[in-house]
Chains A and B, each alone.
Chain A
Amino acid sequence: MSPVSRGFRGRRPSSDKASRLPPGQYETRDFPVLSAGPTPRSPLDKWDLTLTSVAGKTARWTWDEFQKLPREKITTDIHCVTKWSKFDTQWEGVSIDTLLSEASSRGVVASPYVMAKCDGGYTTNVPLADLVNGKGWIAFIYDGAPLHPEHGGPARLLVPHLYFWKSAKWVRELRLMDQNVPGFWEDAGYHIYGDPWREQRYTGD
């Protein structure tokens, strides 16, 4: 299909690593930063996280309340649409399952889609099914330390089985939706779902 690039030999990953790399990805040991604008800074005493239902019911946690929720440790590979993957990243966060069950007692009814809304105006859409049953978290610790603002601190969404732009930095609200509405990058030509194993980088992939 693709023609051979004359003189290109390439640097193949070892077979155990190759099996962990989705198509078109390469391993990096750095942690590159990709953001469309300046890094927003949210003081923790002003920070809160809100879960909003279609009917407008909300569940809200201040930073202190959020810190008291049961947290989980996550070790996972992450895959950025700009081609790098990073293996065995270590996080701590509160699962979306936990947030949803807390919120349902406050009248927040689940819906099939979620829009993550962030400080700085960033948004991304994710089906709810991709956030529940241990697949999504609000992460606030990376590598044993508070998550650095460049990487989305104080807290970011973590949905590691999708391209990493779905793991929205600086997340402040999860808004439940009946319909799948594109977020920031999805509106700018990136794939509506973003499965790295199907190489769904851009619209129509």
Chain B
Amino acid sequence: MTAPAPTRIEWRLGTVVEVIPETSRTRTVVLDVPGWPGHRAGQHVDVRLTAEDGYQTERSYSIASAPEDRHLSLTVERLDEGEVSPYLTEELRKGDKLEIRGPIGGYFAWDISVGGPLLLIGGGSGIVPLMAMLRHREIALKARDRATRRQIPARLLYSSRRWDDIIYREELARLAENDNTLEVIHTLTREQPEVWNGYRRRIDRKMLNEVGWPAAENPRIFVCGPTPLVESAAATLVELGHQPTLVKTERFGPTGGTG
């Protein structure tokens, strides 16, 4: 049993080439990372910050960019009580260096070779790894024929509080406009624009039934968002007959109620 020593995932020094405001609480940090080994859509990175006295802290962030993109993007939501997210969303600027290591995680990941249909369910900043999948799908399918595209249809059900809280709102609209095999469905749980024909409640069984494919079509399902949303959506999908192994989840934040 003498296997070669596994290669360590090294810390790398990225340079911020751009910061893009997304919503009032979120910002995308675009990094140039020399030697980046590539990633699969859905994976994440560790970020490490170092203070002048040597104090360090680390956090994990999902990758927002497609593997095909030239730069690595992270979209970060500012948490008021956070230690790292306020720095990344308010302090960090073009030209700054950022230590990262990755890619991390091989389970919550998708590429077109996995196939479809692809059902994505996101809440808030849980959209980030799902967006990497949609960006990858768009680029990877561009080179394929229409039949392949039709074999991998995608639907995104995305829950936000308000219209202005929808991350990547314009890009999502543009992606769906140019691709009749992609549907983007929003639900706004707290406040809706005056004219709004979409959902206006939390994701529930009826909504998942209306939006998703029947279980018999074996959609690949990825659910990412706050813990209560993911717990409820994943449990409902299993009730609707989807195989638990086809429902991949990523949760963040505390449990609801007593936990």
Contact = CB atoms under 8 A, between A and B. Distances in A.
Contacts of A145: 258
B249 interface: yes
Contacts of A39: 231, 234-235
Contact of B104 (A35, A120, A121, A202): A202
B11 A204 contact: no
B259 interface: yes
Interface string A106-119: 00000000000000
Contacts of A7: 87, 91-92
Main secondary structure of the interface of B (DSSP, over half): mixed
Interface residues of B, number: 51
B99 A2 contact: yes
B231 A205 contact: no
B5 A8 contact: no
A62 interface: no
A202 B105 CA distance: 9
Given A8-B87, A32-B227, A37-B249, A83 B59 contact: yes
Given A2-B50, A38-B244, A33 B8 contact: no
B252 A32 contact: yes
Contacts of A31: 254-255, 259
A interface, how many residues as a size bin? 35 or more
B209 interface: no
Interface of B: 1, 5-9, 11, 13, 46, 48-52, 55-60, 83, 87, 91-92, 96-99, 104-108, 227, 231, 234-235, 237-238, 244-245, 247-249, 251-255, 258-259
Shortest 8 CB-CB contacts between residues of A and residues of B:
A30-B254, A204-B8, A38-B234, A204-B6, A188-B106, A24-B58, A5-B49, A2-B50
